[in-house]
Amino acid sequence: MYAVMKVIEFCYGHRLLNYQGKCRFLHGHNGKVEIELSSRTLDRRGMVRDFDEIKRVVQAWIDRELDHKMLLRRDDPVAPLLRERNEPVFLLDDNPTAEAIARLIFEHTASQGFPVTCVRVWETEHSVAAYSPDTTARRRPAVRAAARSTTTAA
């Protein structure tokens, strides 16, 4: 399996509703996104995907939709106030956690035809969240077979 990873940096603000910690207040992050693409084969150029293509498509979307915007849950009471003042806002159905942002970027990247396998969002240099589709159903039989084979051989 071949894999490439594109790292994209962006700045955003957010807050979490129904949360008791500091993140319940409006605040911002200098975030970093790692977008991992994988393929069993390489294209005619010998690549999983061209880094410039990832930049042109995915980074452009992040720059346009998320960078320097306030990411808020759709029902956040501050959203209408910010919009009235022409402040840049991006609304999500869920709390704008790092996990939700990772899934959002994963889904957009996949919708553009990229063979994305995982997206990681670094909220700070010490805190990272990841999203990848559930693959346990595909992995489980192989693990069981390996365990059975080891038991039989012993």
Known catalytic residues are 23, 68, 123
Residues 13 and 28: beta-carbon distance below 8 Å: yes
Residues 115 and 39: beta-carbon distance below 8 Å: yes
Q: What angle do CA 62, 63, 67 make, to 5 degrees?
A: 90
* Ramachandran assignment for 46, one of left (phi > 0), alpha (psi -120 to 50 degrees), beta (any other): left
Q: DSSP secondary-structure letter at 108?
A: H
Q: Would you state the structure tokens that stand for residue 35, as one six-digit string?
A: 């977008």
